[in-house]
Chain A
Amino acid sequence: MLEIKNLHARIAEDGTEILRGIDLVVKPGEVHAIMGPNGSGKSTLSYILAGKDDYEVTEGDIVYNGQSLLDLAPDERAAAGVFLAFQYPIEIPGVATMTFLKTALNAQRKARGEDELSTPEFMKRVKEKSAELQITMDMLKRPLNVGFSGGEKKRAEILQMALLQPSLCVLDETDSGLDIDALKVVSDGVNRLRGPDRSFVVITHYQRLLDHIVPDVVHVLSKGRIVKTGGPELALELEQKGYADFVDAAA
């Protein structure tokens, strides 16, 4: 279970305050959507969950399965089950995609005291998950994310998620840059991973993703605070009225 308690955070470099007291509880198996206008702190929240050190937590805590994530390095958080699907997955020339996938998977298994996967077993898993996401072996032969289209990058993120089997998936604007077909492939990939032991925090600007990945709870984030929480109908309301009402309410 994820508990975010009164989380305040700022940009480390210049001290700009971004998060101003977030409280959020996500139980196992739940899907929470976080919506909000640009600049509300959505992506910052995702980065802080994953441990990016561009941000400084000044108050509050993030507790995951009884342990403070703030004490853990990004790789330790990953081994503890946290996964961030990036809004802009990064291209890394010179790092082969397969090498990367295998290194990541085995590093996590090692951190958890499990045996490394054999190459045949690893290949079997990659092939199976890739096929579901319409990722060709040709894509996997390229360096990590290099030359991938926007849609290919997002599918590659979901492939990583499917292979690493995290228990907390944070999706940062996974719908951005996707056309309708790609959105469906990605959403189906996410939905296949839904289960009683896995939670999702889905960050999005638009309601359309939530037609495909139906959330249990919807939160509206504005100026670094959650200003309203409701069911899936809240997303529709936002879509009709826009963010203005909520933002003003918070001010």
Chain B
Amino acid sequence: MTIEPRTLETRAETDLAEAYYRDRDALPGGVAVAGIRKSAFDAFRRSGLPHRRVEEWKYSDLRARLKSVPAFAARRSDDDAKAALAALDDVYGAADRYRLVIVDGHFHAGLSDVAALAEAGVRVCPLAEALVEEGESLMRLPQIAAGDAATGLNAVFCADGLVLSLPEGNSLDKPVEIVHALSASAVSTSERVIVAAAKGARATVLETFVGGAEGSFSNTLTDIRAGDEAEVTVARLQAEAAGTTHVGSAVVTLGAETKVKLIGAGIGAGFARHQSFIAFTGEGSRADLLGITMVRAGQHVDQTLVVDHAVPHCDSRELFKTVVGDGAKGIFQGKIIVRPHAQKTDGQMMTQSLLLSDDAEMSLKPELEIFADDVQCAHGATSGQIDEDLLFYLRSRGIPEAEARTLLVLAFLSEAVEEIGEEIVVEAFEERIRAWLAAGA
């Protein structure tokens, strides 16, 4: 190779390079995994952190955001992890579910329902161990996700996480919650979660991202591999502390006759980028994507998705709702790609935003790239304010202004909430939404 490595420009980029040189020998995985990490790192060395001149990241300039990158967290003791967890909101409270716990990027089997899941026929393996055994295939991502800057950085640094394997035909009796907790000290994390659902398996996975401190940087990746005829719902709730930088990638690969529903709620963090990559690899499958984003003063929250219809006869539905408060910035980027032979594709994308003040900002970028000629694809994007006539109607019935506004914001989000279909998720999300509104926009 004769390409001149680009000199890393910022403190954060230098921090990341130093972290790699310091940690690379300790990162788990054999020679093949080390090779994947190395080539991902080389790509980072060439491009640096993504910034506004990188089209996919134009609205979320990570290079400008990150002033420095704290050291990647070491594994905590179970006691410390338990204490960190206890200090944070339990989003699903008393709801009956299996729980798997990741604190500061490391999976704590001792705090998790591994045995109970094993009884239900589902295997949970710490990623650090799994990478040693079968690392190369676990690290592999579909093409649309592999070239991304954030998934690349996750490949460089992922030290732990977990692999949840549902065997063929397994139908889990209750949801599995994967808690991604950050302790109260500013650290970097880069965990990877792999959900592998074999043929005909059914599961609901709840991912919650909580905690953190000013300066925390989390760059997580969840890789959902839904085999033929599998039905998987993944509901992700990002409610990190105000000062964190959160990058969360969800990568979904669908087999044939597969159904995946990916629900994402972004409420927390100071700067958040949620990205979803959906790859259809078998015919007759359907993906439903729902996004609920609420941003307030000083926050920057980005929902970016790429849906790749690489095979015929698949349906995708995207409905993204964003509420933007005073002094906040929301972003939606959605791209549907229909490859030349992916005939009979049906893709519908809708994104709507509600701006709560004149000083709220929303950027919307829907894109269709259609190379097949027998497809149905549509997208829509709207941006608006609370309708004063609706507000007056509610107030004329005695409902005070703040409460009337809350009702109207809930009404705006209701279409997406109603599509969730999982009662415990609906309840948890609604509680979060109400709390958000009660805190004032």
Contacts and interface: CB of A to CB of B under 8 A. Distances in A.
Interface of A: 50-53, 73-75, 77-79, 83-84, 86, 89-90, 92-95, 99-100, 103-105, 107-108, 111, 143, 160, 164
A96 B260 CA distance: 29
B398 A78 contact: yes
B371 interface: no
Contacts of B410: 94-95
A143 B407 CA distance: 12
A77 B396 CA distance: 8
A107 B403 contact: yes
Contacts of B390: 90, 92
Interface in B369-403: 389-390, 392-401, 403
Contacts, number: 80
B173 interface: no
B397 A90 contact: no
A143 B390 CA distance: 13
A103 B407 contact: yes
B7 interface: no
Given A78-B397, A90-B389, A108-B398, A100 B403 contact: no
Contacts of A164: 397-398
Contacts of B414: 93-94
A164 B392 CA distance: 17
Interface of B: 389-390, 392-401, 403-404, 407-408, 410-415
B393 A92 contact: yes
B26 to A, nearest CB: 51
A99 B399 CA distance: 12
Nearest to A78: B398
A90 B396 CA distance: 12
A78 B396 contact: yes
15 contacts: A50-B396, A53-B392, A74-B396, A75-B398, A78-B397, A89-B393, A95-B394, A100-B394, A104-B398, A104-B399, A107-B397, A108-B397, A111-B398, A160-B397, A164-B397
A99 B394 CA distance: 12
Given A52-B392, A74-B392, A100-B394, A94 B399 contact: no
A75 B395 contact: yes
A1 to B, nearest CB: 21
B395 A73 contact: yes
B395 A94 contact: no
A111 B395 CA distance: 13
Contact of B393 (A83, A90, A107): A90
Contact of A95 (B389, B392, B401, B411): B411
A107 to B, nearest CB: 5
A74 B407 contact: no
Contacts of A100: 394, 397, 407
Contacts of A107: 397-400, 403
B401 A75 contact: yes
A43 to B, nearest CB: 13
Contacts of B404: 75
B398 A94 contact: no
Nearest to B418: A94
A51 B400 CA distance: 13
B415 A94 contact: yes
Given A92-B394, A143-B411, 19 more contacts: A51-B395, A51-B396, A73-B395, A74-B392, A75-B396, A75-B397, A77-B396, A78-B395, A78-B397, A83-B397, A84-B396, A89-B393, A92-B393, A92-B408, A93-B415, A94-B413, A94-B414, A99-B407, A107-B399
Contacts of A99: 407
Contacts of A73: 395, 400-401
A74 to B, nearest CB: 4
Contacts of B394: 92, 95, 100, 104
A104 B403 CA distance: 10
Contacts of A53: 392
B177 to A, nearest CB: 28
B411 A75 contact: no
B10 to A, nearest CB: 44
A108 B398 CA distance: 5
A104 B394 CA distance: 8
